[in-house]
Each structure stands twice: as C-alpha cells, then as structure tokens.
Amino acid sequence: MARVSEWAVKVLGLVKSGNAAAAIAQIKVAPSLKDLTALQAQLQLPAHQKRWPDVEHAVRDNLAMLSAPRLHRSP
C-alpha cells in the first residue's frame, strides 16, 4: 500500500477546517502531479465525496495544467 503524501494530508486538513480558500491557494502551487493525484484520491473517498465542490474543481483544473507537457513548473 502506497503512502499518502504529507502535502495531500495537510491540504485536506485545511479543507476540513473550513479554510477552502487557503487549500485552493495551496493546490495552485502543488509540488507535483503525484501530490495532486493523492489529494484527489482522498477527496474521492465516500466520507469526503462531493462535500467541497470548489476544491474538487481546483484539483481537476490544476491536474489538467500540470499534465500538459509544455505547461510545467521549473523547480
């Protein structure tokens, strides 16, 4: 079983605490595609599903941006 990224757990904590704006800001500067995928997997769990549509939308948008070959962030 793969470990969940610490970044994803921290951002999910922001969301659960009611600070969705801060979570979306963190999603926009996600360290990697793997971290965003881990966060998306956490948001798809039955306990969290469809509770925060704006956060899920931000994750989907940023996954698409990071997945594009010419739109990557330099380290």
pLDDT in tens, 16-44: 999 999 999 999 988 888 999 999 998 88
In a domain, 14, yes or no: no
In a domain, 37, yes or no: yes
In a domain, 13, yes or no: no
In which domain, by residue range, is 63 found?
24-68
Tell me what pLDDT residue 5 has.
73
Torsion over CA: 22, 71, 54, 3 (sign)? negative
| pTM > 0.85 | no
In a domain, 53, yes or no: yes
- Return d(Cα 56, Cα 3) in angstroms, integer: 21
* Helices then strands, each counted (H, E), the chain: 4, 0
In a domain, 75, yes or no: no
In a domain, 10, yes or no: no
Instruction: State the DSSP H helix or E strand holding residue 71, giving kind and residue range, or none if neither.
Output: none
Q: What is the domain count for the chain?
A: 1
